[in-house]
Amino acid sequence: MFLESFGTDALVLLGALLLISGVLVAKFSNRLGLPSLVLFILVGMILGSDGLGLVYFDNAYIAQIIGIFALVIILFEGGLQTKYSTVKAVVVPSVSLATLGVLLTSAIVGWCAYLIFDVTLLEGMLFGAIVGSTDAAAVFATLKERNIKAKMGATLEAESGTNDPMAVFLTISFIELISIPETSIWLLVPSFFWQMGIGLAIGLAVGKLASVSINRINLDSSGLYPIFSVAFALLTFGLASIIGASGFLAVYVAALVIGNSELTYRYSIFQFNEGFAWMAQILMFILLGLLVFPGQLFSLGIILEGLLLSFILMFVARPVAVFLSTIGMKYTLKEKTFLSWAGLRGAVPIVLATFPIVAGLDNAQFFFNVVFFVVLSSALVQGSTISWLAKKLHLTGPKKDNPHHSLELISMGKANAEMVQYKTNADSAIVGKKLHEIAFPNKANISAIVRDEKLITPYGETEIQEGDFLYILVSTRYKEDLKKVLEAKKDASYS
């Protein structure tokens, strides 16, 4: 083996090559029309023992630990980027999909697995639990660059951010029922409410503590603030998990609280966590690709049974779960159809599939291979057609802008002023007005305007246009007043 021949130096070199290949894969994944996670997994499979043979990796326990760590980082970054105002409108359906939806999906797939495989009913239900939830890493990455309607994107992201706890609970519960037959299923019900309730409470508490700490504690280096935020993400997961609560739910809720609070060095924190989440995603999927052996995965039995279960999951279980979970809610037939198709599977089912292996259950390796095949099928078929289906159903929104012309001088930290970035839209009351006509608060000055990737030096006669990026230096004392002016709509008055 390559690593055995050259040792630590080769490991460092391999790590560099994996990250470089991961970044290049992410760059070209959209052009190829494939979700990046599929290409990351393929990189791992190619480098593994059944491919080029550069790395031999079969330690499910290490893969589980690294996978959970990566999921914490990915969930945290997704929560930071989620606006509460957007999620607020879809809280009820998202929670319904994350609980009842996962339960229904797991039950249908589990029953079918029991009928298809030569396994017990409990083992079939364990398989259903493993693939029952959508995946935050897959959904966040797939929707990030696509102009999906805001309501649809918010529903899918909120569901994927909150349904991991249900899948983890069901998976661990069925493993316990299989391993210890005398376990009473009724004793698991209080455990569920404990996990959800305490997980939510810890997330809210640590999220508030983190927001206050980031703003109140003056650190010597601005580079410490992003690390401080990640430390709180890990603290949240650790505190919740150590007392038997849902660490994943706690992390996502804490991130929502932090991301929707006023933060010093906000943009530095967000940019660091976005990059860190990409790195975690690249390494996690490549590692999971290394863990599978293509020679076993692409055997005739796995392919036929995996395709059958993928079909049941995509065309039966997920649609039934979506339509039943959203009864009485304000979703059209087209919207429910899209939600049914966009329920991507990804890292979470694969990581959960390592739990039976670590627990030493019979058929664990077989389940892992089938789960892996189902995830690949979901990512390839559903992930590559999301944008096409959204267009067909007329559920596309405005094109997403990801500006690359941000300023390093976003937060003054110890000073009493901040540089605020704001993008105007068609409804902004300030659009069409000249700077001298806008009643900006005291000690608020527009330092720069970026329009069509060009820097414009503002002066009194400069007219604000739709899509402009405004960079405004404002005293912290008047930041809220500035926010009211910027967020005023055309049909509202401001002065």
Residue 175: how many other CB atoms lie within 10 Å: 21
% of the chain exceeding 70 in pLDDT: 88
How large is the C-alpha radius of gyration of the chain?
Answer: 24
Of 152-166, 244-258, 356-370, the poorest mean pLDDT is in 152-166
52: left (phi over 0), alpha (psi -120 to 50) or beta: alpha
Q: What is the DSSP string of 136-184?
A: HHHHHHHHHTS-B-HHHHHHHHHHHHHSHHHHHHHHHHHHHHHHSTT--
Dist CA 419 CA 471 (whole Å): 6
Q: What is the DSSP string of 288-327?
A: HHHHS-HHHHTSHHHHHHHHHHHHHIIIIIHHHHHHHHTT
> Which pairing describes strands 469-475 and 444-451: parallel, antiparallel, or unpaired?
antiparallel
User: What mean pLDDT is predicted for residues 369-373?
Assistant: 88
Dist CA 174 CA 178 (whole Å): 6
Cβ atoms of 344 and 383 closer than 8 Å: yes
Query: Tens digit of pLDDT for each residue in 116-133?
Result: 988 899 999 999 999 888
Q: What is the pLDDT of residue 315?
A: 93
User: What mean pLDDT is predicted for residues 369-384?
Assistant: 85
Q: What is the pLDDT of residue 481?
A: 82
Joined together, the tokens standing for residue 341 give: 């198709």
User: What mean pLDDT is predicted for residues 69-95?
Assistant: 85
Q: What is the pLDDT of residue 407?
A: 47
Question: How many distinct helices (H) and strands (E) make up the chain?
Answer: 23, 4
Measure CA 481 to chain center: 33
User: What mean pLDDT is predicted for residues 43-55?
Assistant: 76
Computed over every residue of the chain, the mean pLDDT equals 82
With b for 16 or more beta-carbon neighbours within 10 A and e for fewer, the 349-386 pattern comes to bbbbbbbbbeeebebbbbbbbbbbbbbbbbbeebbbeb
Length of the chain: 495
- From residue 64, alpha-carbon distances to 116, 358, 418 in Å are 27, 9, 42
Which tops the pLDDT comparison, 397 or 264? Answer: 264
pLDDT interval class at 323 (50, 70, 90)? very high
Cβ atoms of 60 and 291 closer than 8 Å: yes
Q: What is the pLDDT of residue 303?
A: 86
Joined together, the tokens standing for residue 334 give: 């087209």
Q: What is the DSSP string of 27-67?
A: HHHHHHTS-HHHHHHHHHHHHSTTTT-S-----HHHHHHHH
User: What mean pLDDT is predicted for residues 300-327?
Assistant: 90
Of 60-74, 318-332, 364-378, 418-432, the poorest mean pLDDT is in 418-432
Query: Tens digit of pLDDT for each residue in 125-167?
Result: 999 999 888 877 667 666 665 667 777 878 888 888 778 788 8
Q: What is the pLDDT of residue 60?
A: 83
Most confident of 8-22, 54-68, 313-327, 365-379: 313-327
Residue 495: how many other CB atoms lie within 10 Å: 6
Joined together, the tokens standing for residue 176 give: 């316990």
Q: What is the pLDDT of residue 360?
A: 84
pLDDT interval class at 412 (50, 70, 90)? very low
Q: What is the pLDDT of residue 383?
A: 79
Judged against a pLDDT cut of 50, whether residue 495 lies above it is answered with: no
Judged against a pLDDT cut of 60, whether residue 425 lies above it is answered with: yes
User: What mean pLDDT is predicted for residues 14-37?
Assistant: 73
φ, ψ dihedrals at 451, nearest 5°: -130, 120
